[in-house]
Structure 1
Amino acid sequence: MTTDRLPQQTRIGRTALRVGDLEEMTRFYRNVVGLDVLHRSDTSSVLGAEDTPLLILERVEDGRQRHRSGAGLFHNAFRVPSRESLGDAVARIREHWELSGASDHSVSEALYLTDPEDNGIEIYRDRPREDWPRSDDGSIRMGTYPLDLEAVEGAAAGDSGLPAGTDIGHVHLAVSSLETFRDFYVDTVGFEVQVDEPGAVFVSAGGYHHHIGANTWNQRSGPVGGRGLSWFEVLLPDPEALNVVQARLTDSQYPVIETADGIAVTGPNEIEVRFRTGT
């Protein structure tokens, strides 16, 4: 592998949220989003699809909401494997909650909602990669158009939860500086810019449309804190790739901490990113 870019198999792993009401939030992500509760304690819940953990909810004692000026999560994006499962998601949301938006992004079809503690959520399915529109230079063109919700709803299979194969397709962050975001995630970690537009940048590994998005639309100026994003995880395909990332981070201004299964670093806006190997 080259040392300046992440390998093609890189993807997003688990994400974690600090929450005030663990019971309510666990119920929401089970009934509305459709995740299975894999483990539950007095202080945390682990939810996922089949046996794969995707989301960790961590109860915080003070329960304070993240300050409006603070950076953090714009949305967690749960990627489902088919239009049928996206249709099932629409049905769950309509029955138990409220859909706040729906868009056709050319590369994907996406639903948007907000959880009880104001964390953004996207549930989406990708179109085949060969159908993604591209510019003359080969870069991906993502648009935002009305989604044909009737067609999506009509494809529903009637399943009550998210199917096997669901994962965290990407994480979208609200940040204070796109330049600092690029310095860390692109120049240091090794993601590649796929879309760069006023107020937002989307980066990925292996030519995906984006594994991490970032925007300054809400002019966040402070660090992450209180309720909201706790950390998210980048999965690398092998120990060699992890070693390369660790070396690059060690040479940066951001201190690296070794964890039980990888490393963690607190990057721009004090957002914690964890790296480990995973299939």
Structure 2
Amino acid sequence: MSTSTSASLADPKVQPAARVDPVLANAPLKIGRVALTVRDLASMSRFYQQALGLKLIEQDRRSALFGTEAAALLELRHDPDARARSPREAGLFHTAFLLPERADLGAWVAYAAQQRLRLLGASDHLVSEAVYLTDPEGNGIEIYTDRPSADWPRSDGMIDMPSERLDLRDVVDAGAGRTWFGFPSGGVVGHVHLQVGEIKAAESFYADLLGLDITCRYPGGSFYGSGGYHHQLATNVWNSQGAPVRSDGATGLADVEILAEPSVLEAVRSRLPALSPAARNSASMSLRDPWGTSITLRAP
């Protein structure tokens, strides 16, 4: 990006930073930034700034980068001629933005009501509390907060993550007295949920190749975690059973960046014997899952 607009790092309205649960903060693999291909860069930029409160970090005519004072979380890549992705295709199910505290979620829900944002649902997953919506081009979004990892229910070696009714009034009450001034600096992309064509092949890629643990299984869906977190990635076939490899030139997910500790990068490389010497010595590597979804592994 040649022309940049930097977000202010001294905004007096910014809430104090709060750490995410150490289980996620210390995980060997965690989500960095998510890149989307968009047709209307201006309207999508407004949405992510106004609805989610992400800060514009830099922008030019081809792309825009958003995040917090601490990190870049979302990149929008402009392609006005892109084909609109079908909801039946492989790709993005949702990007999940993790707020540091329950009070943050309460403040955002109250703000969303004031702004008349259209919410698609809300769930209590016992490990987390989540609210769902979409952006103007149909990309799924989750806004959530975690319960303490010590309280996550478990059975048979897996983490239980049911979808129960969320008490939105109680969540809003938790944020009483806190005004939403934008996405807090302690917030991150906690996980990315993907649509795939077949679960077994997805598990081979995300668990066997990337080394993520399978933490939970639903009918038609698998969840993958690192370092004990409930999930940094998930895959499902609820809308996309049998989906073929993605075709180029469509809107939607362009890339998922995963921050990987050097030992994890080396382990992935060891499972890819055909890599060139240059790729073996690089601090990052680009892969595609069986449906053509781009995954970039990068050292923090």
1:155 Cα offset (Å): 2.2
Specify whether residues 257 and 29 from structure 1 end up closer, same or farther in structure 2 by C-alpha distance, changes over 3 A only: farther
Asked if the contact 1:257–1:265 (Cα under 8 Å) also holds between the matched residues in 2, the reply is: no
Which runs of 5 or more residues in structure 2 are unaligned?
1-25
Asked if the contact 1:200–1:214 (Cα under 8 Å) also holds between the matched residues in 2, the reply is: yes
TM-score, L = length of structure 1: 0.90
Q: 1:113-192 maps to which residues of 2 (within 5 A)?
A: 113-135=133-155, 137-156=156-175, 157-192=178-213
Q: Distance in 2 between matches of 1:122 and 1:89?
A: 12
- 2:118 is aligned to 98
Asked if the contact 1:110–1:122 (Cα under 8 Å) also holds between the matched residues in 2, the reply is: yes
Asked if the contact 2:40–2:80 (Cα under 8 Å) also holds between the matched residues in 1, the reply is: no
Which deviates more, 177-186 or 58-67?
Answer: 58-67
Matched length: 267
Alignment of 1:112 with 2:136, yes or no, is no
Residue 239 of structure 2 aligns to a residue whose secondary structure is coil
Q: Distance in 2 between matches of 1:250 and 1:228?
A: 31
Q: Distance in 2 between matches of 1:18 and 1:258?
A: 29
- 1:274 is aligned to 296
- 1:87 is aligned to 106
Asked if the contact 1:72–1:223 (Cα under 8 Å) also holds between the matched residues in 2, the reply is: no
- 1:230 is aligned to 254
Q: Distance in 2 between matches of 1:67 and 1:138?
A: 36
Q: Distance in 1 between matches of 2:280 and 2:67?
A: 25
Q: Which runs of 4+ in 1 moved over 3 A?
A: 249-252, 256-261
Alignment of 1:58 with 2:77, yes or no, is yes
- 1:3 is aligned to none
- 1:247 is aligned to 270
Asked if the contact 1:75–1:122 (Cα under 8 Å) also holds between the matched residues in 2, the reply is: yes
1:138 Cα offset (Å): 3.4
Q: Distance in 2 between matches of 1:186 and 1:196?
A: 13
Cα displacement string for residues 132-169 of structure 1 (whole angstroms, at most 9, x for unaligned residues): 1111x332111111111011112221022011111111
Alignment of 1:193 with 2:214, yes or no, is yes
Q: Distance in 1 between matches of 2:55 and 2:72?
A: 9
Alignment of 1:263 with 2:285, yes or no, is yes
- 2:5 is aligned to none
Q: Distance in 1 between matches of 2:83 and 2:113?
A: 29
Asked if the contact 1:69–1:222 (Cα under 8 Å) also holds between the matched residues in 2, the reply is: no
CA RMSD of aligned residues (A): 2.0
Which deviates more, 63-72 or 80-89?
Answer: 63-72
1:258 Cα offset (Å): 7.8
Paired-residue identity, %: 41
Aligned partner of 1:197: which letter? Answer: Y
Cα displacement string for residues 106-134 of structure 1 (whole angstroms, at most 9, x for unaligned residues): 00000100110000000100000010111
TM-score, L = length of structure 2: 0.84
Aligned partner of 1:241: which letter? Answer: V
